[in-house]
Each structure stands twice: as structure tokens, then as C-alpha cells.
Structure 1
């Protein structure tokens, strides 16, 4: 037994000496230091790969992914930081040359109405909406609504904010293009005054006026970069939210400059490239106001706007992103022709003593009246003015008179104290003015085209056209087949914000509440 033990000890010592000899032999070689570094790096890399796959596997059990991602979960993340990571890291696709993520370009053509599409003045836009995937060969589908229902008042700033927030005007608080918060109500917290004037950035860029969460802020909160070009609204909310990229409105911008800016944005690295772009062009509205909605100048503006739609489509193709980008085109309201013979003079409806007691007038072409004095005095003056206005109604039907609490329910425009207590609302195509205002106009009512009327008036209807990889073929839309230039029924513009959120993959439970309809887009999206 002892001899066997001594033999085993001898062999173990021999193996130890042999290993030591081999190690000493290796260390004498010139290539040994490099081989040692390579070996250690290989071990470290293997450990890192195993760790990453372990973390990714655990992440997939708790995180949902945006539409179009390789995998998905039925349980959307509750934590916004995790949602942001999910949308940014998991939904990375490709345009064959660069990483890409699902993108939405939302374009607003101010003042465009469905008649322009129906009568063939915007052929590129109509083609975009009705062209089927098998015709274009790009796997995309178009959708074009009979019309988009705007909010009352059918004005630019209220409706553009409804488009982005999904809120009725009474909910988001931009109740007109210009209005005043009269005493005894306090001005908005942090604002520079009591008067909101859409043409003055000192007021219109103050986030304290703007309520609700626009879709660009919804995207940013989910970690999705956004870009805003000239769209009405503030560059920063009172909550501190701001888009990644913001271009303040500049009336001198040409279509070419707009095209170059979009190309610049699309050329950015994937981490900085906006996945939500909100673009605005005013040319149709400007021409129709100055020359009338059926004028040669309006037709020229329509051609320019339609050409810009074609430009955007070509840019998407240029970047090889047809399967990655959805293009949505909307407007805020329509337009109607005004008449020099269809004018209502407010200073002829109210006597001089009452006109002198008016503190401020809100809105246009409707007029909201705030009166001077304390609350009791204001109430007395309001009652006197209402009585005089209603007597004038007996002589014609050019306008309507409403106390705030009596404004039509379908307008969703009375449950907000920013709305003046008494309103004179013209019927289409009448306009409210005054002798004083006409003197400023040189005796002739300047706008030849106008808007701001009842949102149910056909001339006030807006447009909706979309095309992209997210939409189902037309044949899958529920209901009877639609014949003609549209393939979708009309709907409210408060649905648009949810559409964009659905496409970029922000779950409903992490969006701000709005007046959109739950599940509205289910039948239209893949």
C-alpha cells in the first residue's frame, strides 16, 4: 500500500514539473503576450454576449413592441421609461441602407376643402388616397375620407390644436384665433397678458394658453423624436414638453425650402430623425381669403399644395422608405365666398351707449362680447345687449344670438369660461363687421373668402387623405362599398391624434385622455 502511494506521489510531481516546464517554454516565445491578450478578450466577449442575451430575454417577457416590430407582447408597458426604450430599441427596421423606424408625416393644407378634391383640382392628393397597393406595387394602401369634420369655430388655431390633441375646443382652450380672458377671471398662469393673438408670438407661443397634450409631446414622452414645421402651437408646453425639432412659422418660406427641410430631417441619423413630423402650409388659405375660394389665385395655390404632396411622396421614395413612412394629409377647415351685400354691422344692432360699454370683442367672423364693470354690472349690460340683438333678429336671419350656456351642444364649445358670455354668430355667407371696421377697410369688406362658420356647413368641411404601409386595403373596410373619389366615410378631426399614436406604437393606456373614439382605427389599420 505504501509503495502504491509513493508511486502516485511520484507521478503527480512529474506531471507538475512537466506542466511547469511547458509554461516556461511558452513564456519564452515572442508571440506569447499577444496570444494571451487575444485569449482573454475572447473570454470577455463570450461573457458579454451571454449577458446581453439573458437581459434581452428577460426584457421581452415584460415589454410590448410597436406595430411592425419583429415580436410583440399582449401586455403594454406601464412605465414610460420602459416604453421609450421599447419603441426606440425594438422597432428598428431598415430602408436597405440605413436603420429606420416607423415614421408618420402629417401635413396640414390650411383652407383645403373636399370640393377641391372632387372637382379635380388636387389630382396628386386624390391619386394618393385611392391608389391600391396592387396598382402602385409598393405594398401600401390609400384612404380618402368624404370629408373631415372640423371643430367650431372653424378657425385655424383651434382646429390645428384639436388635430394634435384629439380634444374639443372647449377642452383645449384655444377657443378662437384671438380672444381675451376678461376680469374677474385671472390670466393663464405664466402668461404675459390677458389677450391671445395668433399673429403675435409673444402670446401664441406662451404654453400657458395651450391645454392638452399634442401628439408630438405624446411621442416625445414615449422616447420617439418629433419635428414641427410651422404648425400652429407653442414651441414648448407649460409642462416643459417640447419637440426635438421646431421651425417657427415664417411666411417667407418657399415650397423648395420646406422640401429641403424635410429632406434634412429624413437624412438625420436614426437616433435623431423625427418619427413624427407635423408640417403646415398656408398658401391655399391665404389665396382664398384674398381672392376667393374659386379664384385663379386659389387654383394656383392648390396646384402648389398638390405639388408639395407629390414632392413628399418622391422624397419617401428617394430614401427607399415607402414601406416605413405613412403620409397623412389633412386640413383645418374649408372656405366660402363672402359678399359685400351680406354684412351685419354690430354698431347698428347695438346702440352707441352699449357699444361704449364693450370691454373686448372676441373671435371673427363671429363676435363674442365682454362688458365693462364688476360682475353685476357685466350681467346687466349683457342682458341689455341680448335684448337689443334679439329684436334685430326679427328683421332677418343673417345671424344667431347665443348666451354661452345656450351655444349648440354639437359644437362642444360652451363649457369653458374663456368663451365670452354673449355671442353673435353669422350664418353662412354673412359676416359680422362694424362701420368703424369698414372705414379701416376703405369702405370695402376685405376678405373675399372666409371661414369660421357652423362646422356642419359643407363649405367648412376639411380633408383627410392618407397612404402608407400601416393601412389595410380598401376592400377590408367595413360597410357598403363607396363609389367615387372617396373610400372612407366622414369623421371628426379629434380622431387624427390617435391615428398617429397607433401607427408609431404608443399604447392607449399611456396617452393623454382625449375626445377620440376608442378602437376607431381598428378597421382601417393592419
Structure 2
């Protein structure tokens, strides 16, 4: 039984074992499935975590390490201009209308067509069609970089940031066999402007510091734009070169010259030889971007490169054109250049010389001079080119109460008109019939000393101060009005439309008429201030810089040698053939029949007057020969005759003085 029981129990166990195994297997399957599920869940968690980390890394990279490229991609137009690829903002022309342009759209995509400079946003840009210049990485290779590319995009110093350097010989790049010369005019730049506002003009102030500078340049009379610009390039006074004013009449041709008429292009108005023609006559090439007379066929020719005057041409375009000419191949590249800007003259006329508008204009032209200097530096020409930076005249403040009306002194007449201003002239109405026959002298007499406080004086032109050199030309009317400082002469109040602002044209010695002069370059002295001089001397100076022979002119060749490091002209002064001797009184040497009478003073009395002590001779020489004795170049002997009030060079052959020298004391009277 026991055996059976045992066997029975064993049978049940053997039957239960497969059942347990099945349950175990089911449980194992469940547990395995749960384990696989857990592993799969963990795997996804890890994968999700990895993805999150990657996304976070990318975000942090954009924020910190890769911020510029990400922001350019999403928020900047850098290298995306006018592309049809849209990020969070657009850079095509339609974005303006849609209102979803990137913030830098105008700066990066529009401004390059209007400006000649780089900024940080443009550095490394893709070259855009229509851009004035490029800030791309390859602009050096294509020779179209903006002038400040090196300083803004490459980290180099701009020209104004460099220290002054005194060099003894020109440092020119290959292809420049001689230093170019640039004549640069800032119209109406009063000499005082630089002294007063120099702190706002860093570029011009550096040129002054590093170059040759004069506190003022004396214009010719009248101190007007056309006469002075043409005197600068010819070395002639207006009476010699024919441009006697901005408005003038030629009785020979019965023609009227104004700045707005086609008549100004007629070559007959322009006499003398401007420096661009002198240079061309010596085989050099010239280029002018505006200068009075440069767009006229003078002596049958124009400059090799020139522009007909158009005041609307942007100043930057003018400067960049000169730089473009300097990049031409050597066989066609000019040697001489002119550059002209209307400012600060225009602002001075409209608002007066003491105005915020003039200060703004001064700062603008300073930037333009800087544009030129940066361009030269980028071309390695800043130590090669000689530059004359100057102006034609100054500017005076106009006031309505400082106008003298001729109708306040005499009755009005329809027989004549007045070319009004500070150097007013009378012109008959009947032209050309009465141009020479009009009663100028009678009108001058009627207008002389009419009032104690009269602020002008009438002069027949031959009686004007000789220092004006303003008489020997038919285009100068016979009757002239000389005005006090700050004053102008007009025929009647009806002729005045605007009486405030600024004007010029006055006496060329008046302080506010003085002009600017700075010379800078390898052939001009470094850090030198010189005494003021007349602008007619500049023609000879430019010829010396170009190493050419000047045409005949009113200047004194060699008078500006002290501005040059290596003067090319050595003037030889004429010598007297005979040294004068001391005059001695010859008794009885009277000449009869001279048609003159003498007073009752005895011969002994005359001899006493002519016999001076050594001290008296010394005193009269100091007083009456302050600049030394005049030289006599004629083949004739003479003696020096000393008087208490004058000194004479007496010629025994002709029995009369060859010259007399004396000094007039200051007239303290203020009465006419």
C-alpha cells in the first residue's frame, strides 16, 4: 500500500510537473516581455535624452559660439540680398511692401549703391550689382574696394590715424615715373574757418600739421570765384587773363558773360595759358573734374580728361573719379588733376559765414578730403602725390543795413545800370554805343563825399589802388565803387532780392576775404608755416612740381622756393651796369629854358639843403628807402641825391632824377 501510495504520489507529481513547467514558461514569457518592454522603453528614453541634448547643444551653440552665422541666416541680409530664399525675414525688393525686411536690409542691400565706404556690416559681402564699390574679400584682386576697406575690414589704420612722416623723396609704386599733382579747391573756405573750427576738421588739420601751411592766401581783386580760380591756374591778374568778374561785358564782341549762360563757353573770354595746357604742351596728360575754364576749348584744346560743369554731381563722385583716373595704365594716366567743390561757399551765401550750416558744410568737405586721402593710401600713393588744398576767397556776413543805395545820394537815372556788390561798377544802358563815351567822370564827381558816413568811394578805374591791378582791360567799366568792409553798393532798393546771408568780392586785403592754402606731398616741406602770399604765385609753383617751364605770367618765379624741399628754379637777379656815386653840388650848373621858375632862395641856400650830415643821410635812408635802393638797369651813370624828405637817383645827362623814393605818413584825417 505504501508502495502503491508512494507510486501514486509520484504519479501525481509527474503529472503536475508538466503543468508547473507550462506555468513557469508562461511566467517567464511574461517576465521576458516585461523586460523587453522595459529595455525598449529605456532605449527610447535614452534616445530622447540624446536628441534633447543635441537640440540643446545646437541652441546653445547658436546663442554663444555660432551666433553670427545663425543670426545672419535668420535675421540678417548679409550675403542674402535679393535672393528668393526666405528665413524669418526677407531681403528681396518685395519685403518693403510686405513689411518683413530684415533689420539690416537697407544698410546691406540698398546703401552700397549710394555710398563709397565700407562698414562692419558690409565686410565680406557678396559683390552686388550696382554697388559703387565693394567690401568683398576679393575686392583687392578685382581692384574695386571702397576707399576705407583696409581700415574697416582689415583692421589697418586710416590715413588720418597715421603719424606724420617727413620723407625726402617721393615713394611711388611701380608705374609712376613722376609724382602726380592734385589741385583741390574748396570754394569760399575762409582762412579763419580753419583757425576757429579746426578741431572739427581732423583731416584738413592733419594736412596743415604735416605739410606746408599759410594762415591765409591772398586772392586777387575782385575776390570772386571765376577771376580767382583762373588766376590760380594762369598766374595772371584778372586784367591780364580777362575774367574780371563772374558777370562782365565785352565791348569788342558786344557780349555778356554770366555763369548761367552759354556765352561762358566761348574761348575768347579766357586769355592766358592755364596750367593744364602748359602741362600738355610739355607732353604731360591732364584731367579736370570741374574748374573755371576747364570745360572750354582754350587755345584750341581741352584737358585730356574733363567734365562739363554740373553742380548736381555728388561730391563723392568727383573724388572717386580722380582716384579712378589714378588707376589708369601709365601710358594714358594723367599727371595733373583738378578737383572742385562748391562748399562751404554755397552754405556761406545762404546762411552767412557764422552759421551752423557752414560748420556742417566744413565737416562734410573734411570727410571728402579724407575720402581722397584714404583712397590714395589704399593705392600706396599717399607718399607719392603732391596736393595743393586751397580756396578762391573768403566770405563776409551780409546785412540789410550795410547796403549803400546810389539813389540815396543822387536822383535815379535810366541811363546806366550798376553791377552791384562790394566792387560795384557802372555800365551804360546803351551798349555798345555809350560804353566808352558815357560821362563816368561826371557821375563820379556827383557821388564823391556826399555824406560824412559814406561807406563807398567812386573811382575812375585808372585811379584805383595800383595793387588791385584792375584797370588795363576794356571789360572793366570805367567807373568803380570801392566799398568799406562789410558794405555793398546797389543802385536802388528795388534791385535787392536778398540782403542777408554772405557775400564776397571786397578788397583782397580784408581779413574775411582771405583764402585757405595747404600744400602736402613728398616735394613740399614738412610741418612748415609760411607767410601769406598772392594766389598768382601758385601757377609757377605747380609748374615746378610738374617740372615744366611756365608760360609768361604776373607771378615771380622762385618766390615760393621756400615751400619746396628741392627747388627746381634758381632765379638770377639782374645786375646794375654802374654803381651810383654820391652827388656833389656843381656851382653854376644851372640849366636855362626848362620852363619852370624857382623861388627867391639863394644858390647857397639850395646847396645847404642838399648837403646833409652823415647822421641826416642815415635817417633819410631809413625813412625813405626802407626796402633798399631801386636798381637801375639802363646803361647810364647816376648819383644818389639825399634830401630830408626824399631820396633821388639823379642823372647828370638828362639833368633830372631817374627815380625818387619817399614815405608818406599816416593820414589821421577821416574827412573826405
Per-residue CA distance 1:87-136 (angstroms, 9 max, x = gap):
xxxxxx984454453201110111101211111243321211212xxxxx
Per-residue CA distance 1:182-226 (angstroms, 9 max, x = gap):
3xxx21xxxxx51111222x1112111011101111111111111
**Is the counterpart of residue 242 in structure 1 residue 299 in structure 2?**
no
In structure 2, which of residues 199, 217, 232 is the aligned counterpart of residue 163 of structure 1?
A: 232
1:198 is matched with 259
In structure 2, which of residues 271, 279, 284 is the aligned counterpart of residue 219 of structure 1?
A: 279
Structure 1 stretch 409-418 or stretch 156-165: which is displaced more?
409-418
TM, length-normalised to structure 2: 0.56
In structure 1, which of residues 99, 117, 126 is the aligned counterpart of residue 205 of structure 2?
A: 126
Q: How is 1:6-405 mapped onto 2 (pairs within 5 angstroms)?
A: 95-119=172-196, 120=198, 121-131=200-210, 142-182=211-251, 186-187=252-253, 194-200=255-261, 202-352=262-412, 355-358=413-416, 360-362=417-419, 364-371=421-428, 379=437, 381-392=439-450, 394-405=451-462
* Structure 2 unmatched ranges of 5 or more: 1-169, 567-672
Residues 425, 479 of structure 2: 8 Å contact kept: yes
The CA distance in 1 between the partners of 2:426 and 2:535, in whole Å, is 28
1:472 is matched with 525
Name the SS of the counterpart of 1:108 in structure 2: strand
Per-residue CA distance 1:138-162 (angstroms, 9 max, x = gap):
xxxx111121010000000000000
Q: CA deviation at 1:337?
A: 0.6
Name the SS of the counterpart of 1:277 in structure 2: strand
Structure number with the bigger relative contact order (C-alpha 8 A, sep ≥ 6) is: 1
* Structure 1 unmatched ranges of 5 or more: 1-92, 132-141, 188-192, 478-486
* Structure 2 CA distance for partners of 1:378 and 1:503, relative to 1, 3 Å: closer
Structure 1 stretch 158-167 or stretch 511-520: which is displaced more?
511-520
Q: How is 1:439-454 mapped onto 2 (pairs within 5 angstroms)?
A: 441=497, 444-445=498-499, 447-454=500-507
Residues 288, 294 of structure 2: 8 Å contact kept: no
Per-residue CA distance 1:500-519 (angstroms, 9 max, x = gap):
11111103xxx210111121
Name the SS of the counterpart of 2:230 in structure 1: helix
Name the SS of the counterpart of 1:106 in structure 2: strand
Name the SS of the counterpart of 2:548 in structure 1: coil
Higher helix share: 1
Residues 420, 488 of structure 2: 8 Å contact kept: no
Q: CA deviation at 1:391?
A: 4.5
The CA distance in 2 between the partners of 1:151 and 1:378, in whole Å, is 25
* Structure 2 CA distance for partners of 1:237 and 1:377, relative to 1, 3 Å: closer
Name the SS of the counterpart of 1:105 in structure 2: strand
User: RMSD between aligned alpha carbons?
Assistant: 2.2
Residues 180, 385 of structure 2: 8 Å contact kept: yes
The CA distance in 2 between the partners of 1:328 and 1:391, in whole Å, is 44
Q: CA deviation at 1:366?
A: 2.5
Q: CA deviation at 1:309?
A: 1.3
Per-residue CA distance 1:41-83 (angstroms, 9 max, x = gap):
xxxxxxxxxxxxxxxxxxxxxxxxxxxxxxxxxxxxxxxxxxx
The CA distance in 2 between the partners of 1:500 and 1:387, in whole Å, is 45
The CA distance in 2 between the partners of 1:376 and 1:254, in whole Å, is 45
Name the SS of the counterpart of 1:344 in structure 2: strand
The CA distance in 2 between the partners of 1:376 and 1:418, in whole Å, is 14
Per-residue CA distance 1:242-268 (angstroms, 9 max, x = gap):
200111221112222122212221121
**Is the counterpart of residue 520 in structure 1 residue 559 in structure 2?**
yes
1:27 is matched with none
In structure 2, which of residues 516, 522, 535 is the aligned counterpart of residue 493 of structure 1?
A: 535
**Is the counterpart of residue 411 in structure 1 residue 488 in structure 2?**
no
The CA distance in 1 between the partners of 2:293 and 2:547, in whole Å, is 24
The CA distance in 1 between the partners of 2:295 and 2:438, in whole Å, is 41
Q: CA deviation at 1:331?
A: 0.5
Aligned length: 393
TM, length-normalised to structure 1: 0.71
In structure 2, which of residues 494, 505, 509 is the aligned counterpart of residue 456 of structure 1?
A: 509
Q: CA deviation at 1:388?
A: 2.0
Residues 293, 337 of structure 1: 8 Å contact kept: yes
Per-residue CA distance 1:482-509 (angstroms, 9 max, x = gap):
xxxxx111111011111111111103xx
Q: CA deviation at 1:322?
A: 2.4
Name the SS of the counterpart of 1:283 in structure 2: coil
